[in-house]
């Protein structure tokens, strides 16, 4: 029996097929998450982007997937759709550094079972991947502050407006200079 078999024997909640595709363009995060979930009995396969993931999905349909929403070579929603075409029962968790309601809804519509904000730790990812259908996860230990949620929303609208400060200010209903001051500051914790 290998170490992987030992880990699986200890954790009865993992199915026999514990293949896990991790798609994230942040290499240190991807590697750390892969190692942590491997220790929990998963069989991680790491991909840096949409193109890498497409090749891996064709070769092997994973039972689980953790996909970053924004990748250097595309959108994580494309990866979710590719996974759904090859394996409908794959349990996909979407990760993003820019959490907002619109992207959470888009992720769930694409087929993700949960949506976590970065930095998500391996425990949160494991809980989301193994949650039973209809089961609500416990509230996060360290949720984003109201200031952080506001900042994330402003950043998302700013990005959707192609980094046009005037257009972003108009859509948010705020003065352009106020927006410029907010954009110049670091993200709140």
- Condensed to tens digits (0 to 9), the pLDDT of residues 60-71 reads 889 999 998 888
> Greater confidence, 117 or 51?
51
Tell how strand 43-47 and strand 19-23 pair up.
parallel
Token couple for 30: 């991807």
pLDDT, position 44: 93
pLDDT, position 66: 93
pLDDT, position 146: 81
Q: Say yes or no to pLDDT of 2 above 60.
A: no
Q: Say yes or no to pLDDT of 11 above 50.
A: no
Task: Report CA torsion sign: 70, 81, 92, 14.
Answer: negative
> Greater confidence, 140 or 18?
18
The rounded distance, in Å, linking the Cα atoms of 131 and 188 is 30
> Greater confidence, 9 or 118?
118
Letter string b/e over residues 133-171, b meaning 16 or more CB atoms within 10 A of that residue's CB: eeeeeeeeeeebeeeeeebbbbbbbbeebeeeeeebbee
Query: What mean pLDDT, rounded, does the chain reach?
Result: 83
* Predicted TM-score (pTM) of this structure: 0.69
The rounded distance, in Å, linking the Cα atoms of 6 and 10 is 6
């Amino acid at each position: 029996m290998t170490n992987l078999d030992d880990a699986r024997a200890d954790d009865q909640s993992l199915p026999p097929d514990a293949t896990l595709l991790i798609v994230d363009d942040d290499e240190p995060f991807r590697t750390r998450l892969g190692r942590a979930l491997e220790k929990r009995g998963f069989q991680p396969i790491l991909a840096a982007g949409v193109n890498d993931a497409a090749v891996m999905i064709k070769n092997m349909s994973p039972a689980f997937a953790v996909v970053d929403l924004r990748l250097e070579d595309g959108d994580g929603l494309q990866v979710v759709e590719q996974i759904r075409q090859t394996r409908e029962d794959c349990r996909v968790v979407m990760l993003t550094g820019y959490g907002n309601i619109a992207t959470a809804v888009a992720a769930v519509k694409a087929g993700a079972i949960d949506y976590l904000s970065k930095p998500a730790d391996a425990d949160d990812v494991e809980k989301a991947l193994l949650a039973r259908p209809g089961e609500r996860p416990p509230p996060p230990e360290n949720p984003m502050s109201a200031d952080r949620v506001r900042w994330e929303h402003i950043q998302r609208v700013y990005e959707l407006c192609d980094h046009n400060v005037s257009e972003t200010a108009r859509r948010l209903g705020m003065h352009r200079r106020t927006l410029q001051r907010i954009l110049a500051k670091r993200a709140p914790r």
